[in-house]
Amino acid sequence: MKDKVFNKPIEKQFEFDAEVASVFDDMLQRSVPFYKEAMSLTEHFAALHLKKGGRLYDLGCSTATLLLNLERVADKDTELIGIDNSISMIEHANRKIEAFGSRVNVVEADILQIEYLPCDVMVSNYTLQFVRPPVREKLVAKIADALNKKGVFIFSEKVICENRQLNKELIDCYHGFKKEQGYSSYEIMQKREALENVLIPYTEAENIEMAKRCGFSHCEVIFRWANFATFIAIK
């Protein structure tokens, strides 16, 4: 379905409810610049580091698209697990999993509370930015603790720029991208207001420094377009 969530007056802050879940795949493709390319990189490095019989978690897995793509290239003995706290997202994911006859497993749970089993890879796509700053670092530390030695955490995030003028120019550039995808100025404004104080991005440097404080030996950007970036952190 086509994303038309914000073509009407907003009545609440943004949340991953049934309305959003029903159009989420379209929303991602039209709202995140070079989403396909960033996910292709994520899948490449995830598959590269996922050992035979190993385990991968996708935190904030939404409709399980990335997990289903990974299943096509991963060893059949690997365990692919998606975690999401939105029952609507999990319901959509399970319908896709059933339709594809997939062995992917998705769980409705809080990524902050769940106990993770030892794993080779953790993935998080535009999820950390929705975790409140006071507990975000605790989550990243928990991710590092669950990863095996040399395990990787691949995460994509919206980022902000320390220079105010450049940050404004990056935002304007992004809004231009959204208009090219068919969103109106009204829809762009509505979504921005709905995300206010819900989506809290860090700078590129803050994300890297956080990863290193939490137990990763190395972290750097492997893809960036304006204010969207994909990182890989190595334990």
Q: Could you report the per-residue pLDDT of 94-113, keeping only the tens digit for each?
A: 999 999 999 999 999 999 99
Dist. CA 104–CA 195, nearest whole Å: 30
Answer for the pair 191, 39: CB distance below 8 angstroms, yes or no.
Answer: no
Q: Could you report the per-residue pLDDT of 110-145, keeping only the tens digit for each?
A: 999 999 999 999 999 999 999 999 999 999 999 999
> Rounded to 5 degrees, what angle do the CA atoms 36, 178, 168 make?
110
The larger pLDDT score, comparing residue 25 to residue 53, is at 53
Answer for the pair 73, 43: CB distance below 8 angstroms, yes or no.
Answer: yes
Dist. CA 203–CA 59, nearest whole Å: 21
Q: Could you report the per-residue pLDDT of 75-90, keeping only the tens digit for each?
A: 889 999 999 999 998 9
At residue 227, does pLDDT exceed 90?
yes
Among 174, 195, 227, CA closest to 130: 195
Q: Which tokens in the block code for residue 212? A: 């290193």
Q: Could you report the per-residue pLDDT of 147-176, keeping only the tens digit for each?
A: 999 999 999 999 999 999 999 999 999 999
Number of residues in the chain: 235
pTM above 0.75, yes or no: yes
Answer for the pair 70, 80: CB distance below 8 angstroms, yes or no.
Answer: yes
Domains in the chain, ordered, with CATH? 18-234 (3.40.50.150)
CA Rg value for the chain: 17
Mode of pairing for the β-strands spanning 55-59 and 218-225: unpaired
Q: Which tokens in the block code for residue 105? A: 């497993």
